[in-house]
Structure 1
Amino acid sequence: MSQPALLRLAKVSKRYGTVQANKEIDLEVHSGSIHAVLGENGAGKSTLMKLIYGVEQPDAGHIYWNGQEVHLARPSDAQALGIGMVFQHFSLFETLSVVQNVSLMIPGKPADLAQKISDLGDQFGLSVDPHAMVHRLSVGERQRVEIIRCLLLNPKLLILDEPTSVLPPQSVRRLFETLRKLQAEGMAILFISHKLDEIRELCDTASVLRSGEVTGRVDPREHDARSLAQLMIGREMPNVAHAAPRPPREERLRLNALSHPRASRFGTTLEGIDLKLRSGEIVGIAGISGNGQQELAALISGETRAQEPGMIEIMGKKVGHLGPMARRKLGFAFVPEERLGRGAVPEMSLADNSLLTAHSRNMLSRGFIRRSVERAFTRECIDAFDVRTPGPDAEAGAMSGGNLQKFILGREIMLNPDVMLVSQPTWGVDIGAATAIRRRLLDMRDQGCAILVISEEMDELFEMCSKLHVLHKGHLSSALDAAETSPQEIGRYMIGAAT
């Protein structure tokens, strides 16, 4: 007789109020299989993973482990069976160090755990300082901590929710090598990714979710990325319109020998950064996470003040000494890489999150909030940017990552900025939503906006940008013409092999 599935779901359903997140899901995952779960943002992928990991409990249906029915009331129940999960949105305590976060799940002396963290990081290309405070880490570095912490549990089933979304190409390759080794040893892996080429390369099975239901099960190696996308979204893939960009005009953002010391021994010092951004162009900044992207974005947005006012100019004015609000009044807009906590307040509704940056849109009167204006703005954003949500009263923290990203980006675009900084615009976003976001940014460029994009998605940068810079250890390369530069050359800059 054949071995039973390591994990089997039978008619599993989950509802949140009026939203049917999962509907009668049937799923089997076998030992030694890398099983992809495909679906648009909001299709129910993350909810399904939370049910398997015990974060949420199903309203109906059954979950079987090695042929025996189980009831997972909490994550510790799943961990006891041998289920580990790396979440798309991180579950780390920012006020603790890396090793302290790991010690909350893994027993052992701090010194021993620190050595294990370092060893795993070296082995899997996920290097991180065990003693670094989490709040000082970039998104990519936090992702590495999550993966290491999970691998230290030696799980039988490893759930990975967008694990490569902020990893550089070199680390992705090493991670895949690691996953294949784990697969060869019999580990089962549930893999969620919006990068369809990765799924085709890595996975042997794929279940397709659409509107909370399983609509198909395929071998992804037998399909190209476009056909997988069509299975996933149920319609023809949209195309990004590559209209010829208008010639750049007036200068709208300028960095003049921008230097800034690192805030702690875990940060990155920025040294002598020069950059020019003009109306009607998109300029990209590539680089491996943790090379100063976080510090640079904070300086440009005004969250961190520059050492000299003239180090940063917006619309021809020296702004290095000004805060975020003063810069926004000059026509600046900002989409941070961290959606929850910086881009949006999780516990607040979408309408109230609109107020945070769009209050200048007639939302305030004599110190009072004009709720009707706030809701109308939010509804317009939801409709214009295809945000899948029940409405303006939905909590930001309850939304899928891709839909929250579309909302935050839409909120900033609706302010009609003159200059815009977008950090990791399509992190964790499905292929349909990513295409829509890039198309919107290209439309803004054509309308004359000056856009600076910080991204670790090299394909994305080449698709949108006319010029590219690379940030490596706090130093910014000179501008490279995207049309005359190869990804391989950008990769050499990223690892410091080019100057």
Structure 2
Amino acid sequence: MPEPQTARLQLTGITKAYPGCLANDRIDLSIQAGEIHALLGENGAGKSTLMKIIYGVTQPDAGRICWEGQPVIMRDPAQARDRGIGMVFQHFSLFETLSVAENIALALGTGAGTPRQLEPKIREVSQRYGMPLEPQRLVHSLSIGERQRVEIVRCLMQDIKLLILDEPTSVLTPQEADDLFVVLRRLAAEGCSILFISHKLNEVRALCESATVLRGGRVSGDCVPAQCTDLDLARLMVGDAEGLEAEYPKARGGTPFLRVDSLSWHNADPFGVSLQDLMLEVCAGEIVGIAGVAGNGQDELLALLSGEQRLSRQQGQHIRFLDAPVAHLRPDARRRHGMTFVPAERLGHGAVPELSLADNALLTGFQQDGMVRGGLIRHSRVEAFARRIIETFAVKTPSSHTPARSLSGGNLQKFILGREILQQPKLLIAAHPTWGVDVGAAAAIHRALIELRDAGAAILVISEDLEELFQISDRIAALSHGRLSALRATRETSPTDVGRWMAGQFDQPTPTAA
């Protein structure tokens, strides 16, 4: 009989507790060389804590880690990297003021060479794996999707034996995800083990050979994803799968609330995207979806719509809300008109990590419920608003005093979206509303958006998740190189059509800016 293969990574009885929370409860996990293994679970199930223990960021309270058959203690990420473990975090761990090459050089250490010396290899590796990067670009100028590429390429430049990917496709188009899967299968064929965390169950079934499912910090089951349906996996993750496969009726919008008319904007950033003659209309009682590959003008459009980037008063007519020019107004003035915003980046943009949930509720909700009177904050009103968000949107948190950074990605996203929805906006603009959240939280977010639509609000959703856009959008368009396709009714188009638009193949010529 052949001897059993020694697991590359073996976790036994891993336990980690925080005040008021048992994050990991006696978890066992085994990964073989060359295996693509999924780790599934709803937000707050303990996945991120377990990954941080493997990567040396966090130390377990109990349990044992064996690496290639030998007991080890992962004291810090540097030791994990020396053993050949690389990790791509869901929330990026990049220095925004440094270049791509400088960030990668910091991760690889002094022995790998200077940033300039690494530039040819960065270009070569990123091109080989279909994730092209310009090494000299500053990270703050990159889109979310491009920052994800930096994280992945940074790992691929190491001598990787185990690659941990936490929601790697959350901001990728289906085509980009397929390209990434080609890379991952090639790495696995070369003997690299891959631990894959994703809430996109169809991807897990297509890519992963085995899966471990966590629920409430414990292992709730192991399975072969290819032998399961999405609903089977969802039941293992959340127990009750009711509402997870909802189909929402399409709506026809009423009065136009938001009009973007011949909007052209030159981006002074040489690595940014300029917008060319955009035409867009979002009506009361409808959801309009904007698709596009990351880095095609989504960030620039969001900045112009939210007021983070303003135009002159003379250009104000290019963006009109309730038939009044708003392109010159600040974000707070636009909010007073009835506009609310969910930005693409949760931590640092949608919420201040160090502040409590109550204080984060105040940041954009200060005009609601008399929270500020005579220049003074009425803390009881702020607390009540934060508690209402937590209760209405089932945010898992000990209290409204909990810092935003301590919440799981899905729970923080529900809090941010709830904060904006409960302000009863006339127009909600949301970027990547379900990025990195589990199937249960995504279903709850979709239901909330549909309810807001049915209450008469206009909603604009910008996302790279085509499946999501087709599920909730009434009309859809796509951005490509700063140009916007014509809007089409979702029921009258297909993902293939939108894929062509995303590549710049519009159904009809789009006029260029003068």
Displacement of 1:245 in angstroms is: 4.9
TM-score by length of 2: 0.95
Match of 1:377 in 2: 385
Tell me the alpha carbon deviations over residues 426-460 of structure 1, each in whole angstroms, 9 at most, x when there is no partner: 11111111111111101111000000000000011
Contact 1:165 1:427 in 2 (8 A): yes
- Is it true that 1:327 corresponds to 2:334 in the alignment? yes
Q: Give 2:505's aligned residue.
A: 497
Find the counterpart in structure 1 of residue 165 from structure 2: 160
Distance 1:251 1:4 in 2: 63
Q: Is the 8 A contact 1:286 1:468 kept in 2?
A: yes
Matched, 1:317 2:352: no
User: Which SS does the other structure have where 1:468 is aligned?
Assistant: strand
Residue-by-residue CA offset, 1:335-390 (whole Å, 9 max, x unaligned): 00100011000011111000001111211233332222111111111111111111
* Aligned residue type for 1:213: R
CA contact (8 A) 1:53 1:85 kept: yes
Per the alignment, residue 287 of structure 2 pairs with 282
Cα contact 1:240–1:436 (8 A) shared by 2: no
Match of 2:65 in 1: 63
Q: Distance in 2 between matches of 1:18 and 1:472?
A: 47
1:462 positional shift: 0.8
Counting matched residue pairs gives 499
Q: Which residue of 2 aligns with 1:437?
A: 445
Residue 296 (1) aligns with residue 301 (2)? yes
2:337 maps to amino acid = L
Measured at CA, do residues 243 and 462 of structure 1 come closer, stay the same or move farther in structure 2, by a change above 3 Å?
closer
Asked if the contact 1:245/1:446 (under 8 Å) is kept, the reply is no
Identity over aligned residues, as a percent?
52
Map Cα deviations across residues 272-331 of structure 1 (whole Å, 9 max, x no partner).
001111100111100000000000000000000125111111122101111100000000
Q: Distance in 2 between matches of 1:92 and 1:202?
A: 27
Q: Return the match for 1:198 from 173, 189, 203.
A: 203
Question: Superposition pairs for residues 363-374 of structure 1, below 5 Å?
Answer: 363-374=371-382
Partner SS for 1:104:
helix
Closer, same or farther in 2 for the Cα pair 1:109/1:223, shift >3 Å?
Answer: same
Alignment of 1:143-158 (within 5 A): 143-158=148-163
Equivalent in 87, 90, 93 of residue 88 of structure 1: 90
Contiguous gaps of at least 5 residues in structure 1: none
User: 1:90-105 alignment to 2 at 5 Å?
Assistant: 90-105=92-107
Point out the more displaced range, 220-229 or 168-177.
Answer: 168-177
Secondary structure at the counterpart of residue 263 of structure 1? coil
**Separation in 1, partners of 2:269, 2:251:** 42
CA distance, structure 1, for counterparts of residue 475 and residue 118 of structure 2: 43
1:386 is paired with a residue whose SS is: coil
CA RMSD of aligned residues (A): 1.2
Question: CA–CA distance in 2 between the matches of 1:201 and 1:241?
Answer: 22
2:53 matches 1:51: yes
Assess if the C-alpha contact under 8 Å between 1:37 and 1:192 holds in 2: yes
> Does structure 2 retain, via aligned residues, the 8 Å contact 1:157–1:188?
yes
Partner residue in 1 for 2:425: 417
Kindly indicate whether the alpha-carbon contact (under 8 Å) linking 2:395 and 2:414 is maintained by their aligned counterparts in 1: yes
Question: Which residue is equivalent to 2:225?
Answer: 220
Instruction: Name the amino acid aligned to 1:352.
Output: D
Tell me, yes or no, if the aligned pair for 2:15 and 2:24 is still in contact at 8 Å. yes
| Pairing 1:176-255 to 2, within 5 Å after superposition | 176-239=181-244, 242=247, 244-245=249-250, 247-255=252-260
1:25 corresponds to which residue?
A: 27
In the aligned structure 1, how far is the partner of 2:241 from the partner of 2:86?
35
Structure 2 portions without partners, runs of 5+ = 508-514
Deviations 1:209-260 (A, max 9, x none): 0000011111111101111111111113314655645542211111111111
Deviations 1:185-219 (A, max 9, x none): 11110000000000001001100000000111111
Structure 1 residues 477, 343: CA separation in 2 closer, same or farther (over 3 Å shift)?
same
Query: SS state of the match for residue 134, structure 2?
Result: coil
TM-score by length of 1: 0.98
Change (3 A) 1:240 1:234: closer
Counterpart residue identity of residue 255, structure 2: E
Give the AA of the match of 1:272: D
User: Which residue of structure 2 aligns with residue 3 of structure 1?
Assistant: 5
Seen in structure 2, the aligned counterparts of structure 1 residues 66 and 288 have a Cα distance that, compared at 3 Å, is: same
Cα distance change of structure 1 residues 335 and 214 upon mapping to structure 2, 3 Å threshold: same
SS of 1:130 mapped into structure 2: coil
Q: Does residue 450 of the first structure (1) align with residue 451 of the second (2)?
A: no
Letter in 2 for 1:456: E
Secondary structure in 2 matching 1:12: strand
CA contact (8 A) 1:237 1:432 kept: no
Q: Deviations over 1:54-80 (max 9, x none)?
A: 111111111111121111121001111
